Amino acid sequence: MAEQEDLRTLYALAFAGSAGRAVLADIEARAYVAETSFSPDPQRAAFNEGRRSLALHIRRMLGPEVALRRADAPEQEPRVD
């Protein structure tokens, strides 16, 4: 369990600051996090869902307070417990 928390801390550090938030916003936009990933082509739909799944995993690792911040939000230090 400590290994998982260490990994969460690393995610928080990687996506901290304005650059990290901008990268996260780009990942979420490309991964259809806020919109449908549907495609009539089943292979494309599966590919899109794979992208979306990874972006959602990153959100889960960052926790709800980080995942809800926007790229243009004021800079905050990452929470390291």
What's the N-to-C CA distance of the chain in angstroms? 14
pTM for the whole thing?
0.74
Provide the pLDDT confidence category of residue 78 given band limits of 50, 70 and 90: very low
C-alpha to C-alpha distances, 14 to 9, 21, 47, nearest whole angstrom: 9, 9, 25
Domain ranges across the chain: 2-67
CA atoms of 66 and 69, how far apart (whole Å):
5
Q: What's the rounded mean pLDDT across residues 52-65?
A: 93
Q: Convert the pLDDT of each residue in 20-36 to its tens digit.
A: 999 999 999 999 999 99
Structure-model confidence comparison of residues 60 and 65, the more confident one? 60
pLDDT at 6 over 50: yes
How confident is the model at residue 65, as a pLDDT? 73
